[in-house]
Amino acid sequence: MKKNNKIILTGGHAGTTALSVVEEINKQELDWEIHWIGSKKSIEGKKALSLEFNYLKKFNVEFHPIIFGKLQRKFSIWTFFTFFKIPIGFIQAFYYLMTIKPFVVLSFGGFASFPVVVVSKILRVPVLIHEQTTVAGRSNMLSSKFADKVLLSRESSKEYFSKDKCLVVGNPILSQYFKDNKSLKADNKKTIFIMGGSRGSQQINKIIKQVLIKLLDKYKIIHLTGEIDYKEFKKLKSDIVNDKSKNYHIFSSVDPYEMLEIYNNSQLVISRAGANTISELIALNKPSIFIPIPWSYLNEQEKNAQFASKYIPAVILDQNNISEEKLLTGIKYLINFDNITTKNDFLDKEASQRIVNLLNKYFK
């Protein structure tokens, strides 16, 4: 009888984290059939497709969409509809688990993963969850009650979970970030890369719109707008006169494997402070301005940014108290940093290998 070689990865986000683990599975030449259970849409109620849906299937990962409402911080009409989605998610999770019959489930958090974790526990399928942040996500805190192991990126997350389940492994990012990457020399103008994570940030876009012309006076700009604001900024670019337009490059999305080239061609990054973003920027020793999401759970992004500032030159700006002057001052301070070296205690380089080695124990 052929040994069960099916594995389920699940999450409501963390597409590049999952890609990193898939990359390591392929590197080790493990004969595993990989399935992903997650949301097809990047933002609920919007048409934009998730990074996981767009890219995991390129690596022969079978995608299974799941519907599961996200807990709302404030009660609204959407809270009412969310409650109706919850049982649908559990029914779908039960169907997928019974059909696939995996030897192990690895969850990366997000509420789309919660029914998968619970049903896996009921069906006695081993469950590992991975926490990317410096604190803990709400879904992972709930899921940890049903998990066999809780894999942490940072030591600081231990206080939120049962310590007997915890193991610090680092945060998996694509292996290309740990190769001999060197920033390219700027020609006449240095380059700033502006993004809000893989999906863009409307709040950061609003700030950038106010200072864009001033920035283009001195710098080249690469701007990952996200799909929602892309048309607006495309029109804005077309309205910019003379050579400034040539120095402004916009994208609605970027392939995870093409992101490295943009980083390497930039002297400074302006971004949110998601866990994967800070891992990539630390690996590349990239000076950064962080504008953390102010409403993130347990002030997650602020703490992520503070963690990153221990490794790389960084300025942290409060979205609710940001000004044109503060942003331009931060840029002026960071744009000329070079010869930065990463500290030796950065765990992420071998995080994917540690996780896959743990998964392999359940297979064996």
pLDDT tier at 200, thresholds 50, 70, 90: confident
pLDDT tier at 131, thresholds 50, 70, 90: very high
Is residue 31 situated within a structural domain? yes
Question: Do 235 and 253 share a structural domain?
Answer: yes
Is residue 356 situated within a structural domain? no
- Which residue range is the domain that position 330 belongs to? 177-334
Burial classification of residue 16, based on how many CB atoms lie within 10 Å of its CB (0-12 exposed, 13-18 middle, 19 or more buried): buried
Q: Judge whether residue 73 has pLDDT over 60.
A: no
What's the confidence (pLDDT) of residue 182?
Answer: 62
Residues in CB range of 178: below 8 A, 6 or more apart: 283, 349
Average pLDDT over the chain, rounded to an integer: 90
What's the confidence (pLDDT) of residue 143?
Answer: 97
State mean pLDDT over 128-134: 97
Is residue 347 situated within a structural domain? no
CATH number at residue 113: 3.40.50.2000
Question: Do 104 and 240 share a structural domain?
Answer: no
Question: Do 217 and 124 share a structural domain?
Answer: no
- Gap between the Cα atoms of 66 and 92, Å rounded: 6
- Pair 251, 223: CB distance under 8 Å: yes
Q: Judge whether residue 188 has pLDDT over 80.
A: no
Residue 94 or 49, more confident = 94
> Tens digit of pLDDT for each residue in 246-267?
999 999 989 999 999 999 999 9
What's the confidence (pLDDT) of residue 227?
Answer: 86
Spatial CA neighbour of 289 closest among 340, 244, 337, 256: 337
What's the confidence (pLDDT) of residue 292?
Answer: 96
Question: Do 141 and 269 share a structural domain?
Answer: no
Question: Do 158 and 98 share a structural domain?
Answer: yes
Question: Do 18 and 164 share a structural domain?
Answer: yes
Question: Do 220 and 135 share a structural domain?
Answer: no
Is residue 122 situated within a structural domain? yes
> Tens digit of pLDDT for each residue in 35-52?
999 988 766 555 667 778
Question: Do 141 and 161 share a structural domain?
Answer: yes
The structure's pTM equals 0.90
Instruction: List, as one string, the DSSP characters of 219-252.
Output: -EEEEE--TTTHHHHHHHHHH--GGGGGGEEEES
Question: Do 200 and 162 share a structural domain?
Answer: no
Is residue 301 situated within a structural domain? yes
Tokens of 50: 């998730």
Q: Which of 123, 148, 168 represents a domain boundary (last residue)?
A: 168
Question: Do 23 and 58 share a structural domain?
Answer: yes
Is residue 346 situated within a structural domain? no
State mean pLDDT over 206-221: 95
Burial classification of residue 33, based on how many CB atoms lie within 10 Å of its CB (0-12 exposed, 13-18 middle, 19 or more buried): middle
What's the confidence (pLDDT) of residue 316?
Answer: 98
The tally of domains found in the chain comes to 2
Tokens of 239: 């309205």
Residues in CB range of 156: below 8 A, 6 or more apart: 134, 135, 303, 307
Q: Judge whether residue 10 has pLDDT over 90.
A: yes
> Tens digit of pLDDT for each residue in 301-355?
999 999 999 999 999 999 999 999 999 999 999 998 865 665 666 899 999 999 9
Question: Do 239 and 114 share a structural domain?
Answer: no
Q: What percent of the chain has pLDDT over 90?
A: 73
What's the confidence (pLDDT) of residue 251?
Answer: 94
What's the confidence (pLDDT) of residue 250?
Answer: 95
Residue 69 or 137, more confident = 137
Question: Do 291 and 229 share a structural domain?
Answer: yes
Is residue 362 situated within a structural domain? no
Is residue 345 situated within a structural domain? no
Q: Judge whether residue 98 has pLDDT over 70.
A: yes
